[in-house]
Chains A and B, each alone.
Chain A
Amino acid sequence: MSIAKVGRCIEASGVSKVYGAGTAAAVEAVSSVSFTVPHGQFVAILGPSGCGKSTLLMMVGGLEPVSSGNIIVNGEPMTGPRTSIGIMFQDPTLLPWKSALDNVLFPVRVLKRSIDDYREAARDLLHQVGLHGFEHKRPHELSGGMRQRVAICRTLVYDPEVLLMDEPFSALDAISRDEMNELLLDLWQQFTKTALFVTHSIREAVLLADRVLVMTKRPATIVENLAVPFARPRSMALGESREFNEICRHLRECIEESHSRSRALRARTTAWRREPAT
């Protein structure tokens, strides 16, 4: 289809997630989050570990039910997983008994489509991410970065419209991580899809995304929605520019501010709790 879709692809309004609702140990993992992602945009959700950003992503992917609010993807409310949404997890989660090529073809097999129709596409993808010659290697014969590349190919092979990525490079070392960012930038030039990318790396978010949403721990909600002004195609050299570093500093301040606010709030709460004893 050559005509680009316009308008909103993902719409989340007032989305909350409460674990153990109704009990004394109830935890609000996500608290009334609202945002939209237009078609073809790459949006990063940036936040510290445990701020509920992965939970939010799983709700968008239909793998976790929402406690309240609603999520609409391509005009239809999410009730469960969909084939038009591809999810990339924190770990590559390759099947250890399958070769790299067969792992890439795994979604095709699950979706009961013809493997033969996709074999060439899978080979091309592996070639593109620099895994030519590794098609028949098992996961244990590949490095961490290579496994994550296979996982990227696996997510792209059946051509989902929307990509959800849950800190896909957080388990990698710094050098492999840079390589993967570069690779993702390259791939993005060709497969412009709508993407939601969860990360705790400020630089990764600014480098990859068109827009960055900052999520904080307490409350677990979005406190900043920042458009990243850099044109594409982007390169890793972007990270050296002054404007890039200024944006990073602004985002860091956002996170720190909310942290000190939550610390102050906690201190007040403990003081209040002590009061009845006096």
Chain B
Amino acid sequence: MAARAGNVSVEIPAAAPPGSVPAIGPSLRWARPIILPIATAAATLLLWQFAAVRLRIPAVILPTPIEIAHELWRALPVLIEQAGPTALDTLMAFAAASALGVGLAVVIAYSPLLRDTLYPNLVFFQLVPKVALAPLFVIWLGFGSPSRVAFATFISFFPVVIAAAVGFAGTDPAALQLCRSLTASEWRCFLLVRFPFALPAIFSGFKVAMTMAVIGVIIGEFISSQAGLGHYILNAGSRLDTADVFAALGVLCALGVGLYGAVALAEFGIRRVYGRH
């Protein structure tokens, strides 16, 4: 029996499945979450390139990644110039939505009457397809930048107010009581306890708001504009310059990722500051 038990223990490594994934060296394990998505994206581009060439898909329907890269390189100065107004409108809308959203959430946190009055309506509005309201903003504010900023603010405001209201409401009541027992004013309790408690929720709202603001500005530019990436995409589309549309989409993606990254970076910084004191 002892000998057989010994055999079994020897066989275990040999019985490892032959088709198992080759192990990544321990030194590369940290790179796994970076390598896997990039490899997937690269494989998709390769497949796209191969399929477009092999199936002879006309460039006007689906240009190959290489054609798009050429186009991107050619149009890059213009695209960067066009990204300016889009980025500016987005940032203005995001700032307005953040300030309004957090402000309203504070009011909701401190006034049960306003919470009961406003909160159900806010949740209801969150469910309405607000994109359909974009033409109204043009009617109200004209064809300029204000109507685009207002519309983008409008659609990115809801995620902020709802996330922040949930965050403020979720503050540990015992921590607030501790603060009150130390004779702190309501404002000081807010600053030292409620606000830092709600920060993760507020920033999750900010992240959604930033992507919504980009969407809002692009839709605004589709409807009416003389500049911006949305305008550029619409123009290229009407010329059936598909590669140009994709090139502009690439720049738009980079802009979106950059703005989202800025929010994530701000969160990292603010949470560090709060952690230290």
Contacts and interface: CB of A to CB of B under 8 A. Distances in A.
Contacts of A83: 182-183
Interface string B159-201: 0000000000000101101111111100010001100100000
Contact of A87 (B172, B178, B192, B276): B178
B271 interface: yes
A183 interface: no
A74 to B, nearest CB: 15
Most B CB contacts (10 A, CB to CB) among A83, A90, A93 go to A93
Interface in B194-242: 196
B277 interface: yes
Contact of A80 (B172, B183, B193, B277): B183
Given A102-B277, A110-B188, A110-B192, A93 B182 contact: no
A58 B80 CA distance: 62
A61 interface: yes
Contacts, number: 53
A53 to B, nearest CB: 17
B33 interface: no
Nearest to A92: B174
B275 to A, nearest CB: 5
A89 B174 contact: yes
Contact of B181 (A87, A90, A102, A109): A87
A110 B184 contact: yes
B124 interface: no
B274 interface: yes
B70 to A, nearest CB: 49
Nearest to B272: A97
B191 to A, nearest CB: 10
Contacts of B188: 110
A108 to B, nearest CB: 10
Interface residues of B, number: 20
**Size bin of chain A's contact surface:** 20 to 34
Most B CB contacts (10 A, CB to CB) among A91, A97, A107 go to A97
A93 B180 contact: no
Contacts of A107: 182
Nearest to A62: B181
A213 B271 CA distance: 46
Contact of A81 (B172, B174, B183): B183
A97 B272 CA distance: 9
Contacts of B184: 110-111
B182 A81 contact: yes
Contacts of A98: 274-275, 277
A95 B180 contact: no
A210 B275 CA distance: 40
A82 interface: yes
B193 A91 contact: no
A97 B196 contact: yes
Given A91-B174, A93-B172, A97-B271, A63 B180 contact: yes
Interface in A65-107: 80-83, 85, 87, 89-91, 93, 95, 97-99, 102, 106-107
Contacts of A106: 178, 192
A87 B184 CA distance: 14
Given A63-B181, A81-B181, A82-B183, 19 more contacts: A61-B181, A63-B180, A83-B182, A83-B183, A87-B178, A89-B174, A89-B177, A91-B174, A93-B172, A93-B174, A95-B193, A97-B271, A97-B274, A102-B277, A109-B192, A110-B179, A110-B182, A111-B183, A138-B275
Interface of B: 172, 174-175, 177-184, 188, 192-193, 196, 271, 274-277
27 contacts: A62-B181, A63-B180, A63-B181, A81-B180, A81-B181, A81-B182, A82-B183, A83-B182, A87-B181, A89-B174, A90-B174, A93-B175, A93-B177, A95-B175, A95-B196, A97-B196, A97-B275, A98-B274, A99-B275, A106-B192, A107-B182, A109-B192, A110-B179, A110-B192, A111-B183, A111-B184, A138-B275
